Amino acid sequence: MSLFTVHIFLTLFALSAGGGKQRETPGLYQGDIQLTPEQWESLQSNNSPFGSIKNRRWPNAKIPYTFESSIGENGRQAIKEAIDDYHRFTCLRFTPWNGEKNYISFFYGQGCNSPVGMWDKNRISLGEGCLTKGTALHEIGHSLGLEHEQCRPDRDRYVNIHYENIEEDWVFAFNISKNVDSLGTEYDLYSMMHYSSNSFTKVWNKKTITTKDPSKQKLLDNFGRIFGLSGTDVKQINKMYSCGEKIPSTLKPTTCTKDNDWSCQFWTNQGYCLSGDLFQRARMHEMCCKSCKDKCGKCGL
């Protein structure tokens, strides 16, 4: 079945480690989701086409994939790094496409977008400003069957939506998807699938989302998905695909000589060495061991 885009005219906001930049992706549901006619019909009738639909999950947790010629080396590297994380923390296995009917095809298109769930051919666009590991993780997450975190039915218990700051044409990007099934996982401000605090804002310094707990606001200001998978992301994916427990008991290296990511100092200064998500805290100590050690020693690990 071929996919088509439902013309709802939303936009995707994404943040890099150094700040925010608006990137428009016209004609996509919630800014980065491609919908089929069946999915759009399900949305109209309040039947969620997302995580609860078992027949759109990838059989045996196997996902064939390929690169189209438009994807350059930077994009391929970001995708490979994202796939490495999925391999490490879930039972999902991405394999080179070998003629299978259902597969993912990565291409350099307009903005960052993906279908939701498995279809005959899932084309994931990683265009200008999208060639990062965090964005690849997010868009692949959609193809696995994940919805945006802030569309969960229980979101109003955790965040405030400031409709007065949202561009009028895009207010319904914040609609709750009433039938999303999060498989018993807790609401996750750290999730790679969560909007940032200024998504769809009229003015760059006006927030569209704030946290009920003010002490957690920085999680949305910094857009946690750039950092990578959260513990709850891992838990939900593993439940979706019957993986069992895949989070290692410890990720902290026995020795520390240098940071392994250029953005470590930024994330350290934002307090992620003391992240409330123990999985992310462990990831920080693994990836940014020198910065975390210099900042706060063992940081409670």
What is the DSSP annotation of 96-109?
E-SS-SSEEEEE--
286 catalytic, yes or no? Answer: no
Q: What pLDDT does residue 270 have?
A: 76
Q: Given 73, 81, 128, 139, which residue is catalytic?
A: 139
Q: What pLDDT does residue 281 have?
A: 79
Its pTM stands at 0.76
Candidates 143, 238, 140, 154; CA nearest to 189 is: 154
209-211 and 12-16 strand pairing: unpaired
Q: What pLDDT does residue 11 have?
A: 29
Q: What pLDDT does residue 50 have?
A: 47
Distance (Å, whole) CA 139 – CA 122? 11
The residue ranges of the chain whose pLDDT is under 70 are 1-55, 222-227, 245-256, 296-301
Distance (Å, whole) CA 164 – CA 171? 9
Dump pLDDT digits (tens) for 131-162: 998 899 999 999 999 988 998 999 999 999 99
Q: What pLDDT does residue 182 have?
A: 87
Q: What pLDDT does residue 215 have?
A: 85
Q: What pLDDT does residue 38 have?
A: 59
The number of CA neighbours under 13 Å toward the Cβ of 173 is 34
Q: What pLDDT does residue 7 have?
A: 26
Q: What pLDDT does residue 255 have?
A: 64
